[in-house]
Structure 1
């Protein structure tokens, strides 16, 4: 079981990483924080202090002085990457009478860390009931975590864990050519490139088994099969391997077909998206659902290997078993070099 200490450590480490990244940006003169960063801290503050903050910049292009507000609890925040006294005084000066009336407690959250002391405009502080104690940073949020129950800590941990990568990407600094360290390509699975042999060995097996087929026909069939496989995501190809490995003897046609009981599949696979994988395989012609003939019987998923004829399909499996070739080599890695 995950403990309070684990959650606190993970939360504090993540927030410290963000603070360090914001600080680096600040030293380069990049002090802007986008709406996503504001929303990230909005959720954390809501969990930490049982608030109902909303992003005020969603209601208008820019709420002067303030970024987050909870009118019910009369609390508001400015979220900033700038840590200076001038920044705080500028925020206080831009506050409207309407804002001061709506929010009895106004705070500044300085993501990059706060200074050891602040020189604040006494008149503006009195007007907004503001003091240096209302200037917070990441360390103040970390201290608050120490007082929370494990249930609340887990909510914050889940939020931080799910959003941290995106926040860090949003805060990346481009190089001199305007390129960022992380791009969408880093999160997109590469299209696999099949490794093909001349298929002479497999064509010879076909001949030995009485299947009259010239080499070009075999080569074209496997080329089409590999192209079809390459269109599937890797995890879907792994799911296909599982279906074949857990296949059973066809009820009506012996070993001439590849199928698996649909009810059995639902019980042996704890993968969270069986239905999604089957939809993808169905859409790309790798499986189809054979409905039962009689009420009370199970449906069966029939496996097809598009591009291969029924004879090629069965001898393909026989060839791999006879030569000790794991299904994952051709079906997942798209390595047909042993054929």
Structure 2
């Protein structure tokens, strides 16, 4: 599976889980999830479309029918889980939209498919910029745009989804397993590799930057630092038993270079 596919699949799973959660909570009249979704989608759209959205409670308190606004790009957005033509039409009929008729009005619908709403005609008395073909955005549309996005954008979106909606962390290995691995290495009988080279010391961050790995550092390299204290403790315990950690490292180097 390619890196792009891994990132996309993670985003897809989180968005569909969010849709399901809000749908279920809506049936139970639990609306807190919808309020949190507004803040999440503001960040999501800012990354995906390079918008500059903020919640209207920060800029225009109690702004009727509008949840998010991008003053720079002149875009206003309503985030809703009510997937009906009436919901969209009622918003378009709001008299306050006449004051921002030079803005574009978009709807982010928390559902997998809202294609049927793109085929219905709408009255737009305020003449705010709006097209039912392009400005009704459901999760399927968001995922299609994610699929075509630059991989750096995909990584940012994946990280956002992980932070906001929960991360699928790989299971941590038990310390006892690490002990067993090191113990087996210590017992290995290996012949020294020909021309064993002693690596030069280096700055870890410089090495990451030189190999252009910074984009994956947060999700791969950095989490592995958690294991360093455990390994240090294991090596110390071996030293107390009379087995030098240096011997273990030499065997690892010999096996690696022979391979």
Same fold (TM over 0.5): yes
CA deviation after TM superposition for structure 1 residue 161, in Å:
0.4
CA deviation after TM superposition for structure 1 residue 27, in Å:
3.5
CA deviation after TM superposition for structure 1 residue 273, in Å:
11
CA deviation after TM superposition for structure 1 residue 271, in Å:
4.1
* CA 154–138 in structure 1, closer or farther in 2 if over 3 Å, else same: same
* CA 46–270 in structure 1, closer or farther in 2 if over 3 Å, else same: closer
Structure 1 residues 247-266: aligned runs within 5 Å = none
Structure 1 residues 155-194: aligned runs within 5 Å = 155-165=156-166
1:35-67, Cα deviation, whole Å (9 max, x unpaired): 432111111101111111111122344221111
Q: Name the structure 2 match of 1:202.
A: none
Q: Name the structure 1 match of 2:111.
A: 112
Q: Name the structure 2 match of 1:147.
A: 148
Matched, 1:39 2:39: yes
Q: How many residues align?
A: 172
8 Å contact from structure 1 (residues 85, 120) kept in 2: no
* In 2, Cα distance between equivalents of 1:32 and 1:99: 28
* In 2, Cα distance between equivalents of 1:64 and 1:128: 15
* CA 114–132 in structure 1, closer or farther in 2 if over 3 Å, else same: farther
TM-score (norm 1): 0.45
| Secondary structure of 1:148's aligned partner | coil
TM-score (norm 2): 0.58
Q: Which structure has greater helix proportion? A: 2
> Structure 1, unaligned stretches of length 5 or more?
167-237, 239-268, 275-320, 322-339
8 Å contact from structure 1 (residues 51, 73) kept in 2: yes
| Secondary structure of 1:132's aligned partner | coil
Larger radius of gyration: 1
8 Å contact from structure 2 (residues 112, 138) kept in 1: yes
Q: Name the structure 2 match of 1:98.
A: 99
Structure 1 residues 6-25: aligned runs within 5 Å = 6-25=6-25
8 Å contact from structure 1 (residues 76, 106) kept in 2: yes
8 Å contact from structure 1 (residues 42, 53) kept in 2: yes
CA deviation after TM superposition for structure 1 residue 108, in Å:
0.3
* In 1, Cα distance between equivalents of 2:86 and 2:29: 15
8 Å contact from structure 1 (residues 33, 80) kept in 2: no
Q: What value does the CA root-mean-square deviation take over the aligned residues? A: 3.0
8 Å contact from structure 1 (residues 32, 81) kept in 2: no
* CA 28–36 in structure 1, closer or farther in 2 if over 3 Å, else same: closer
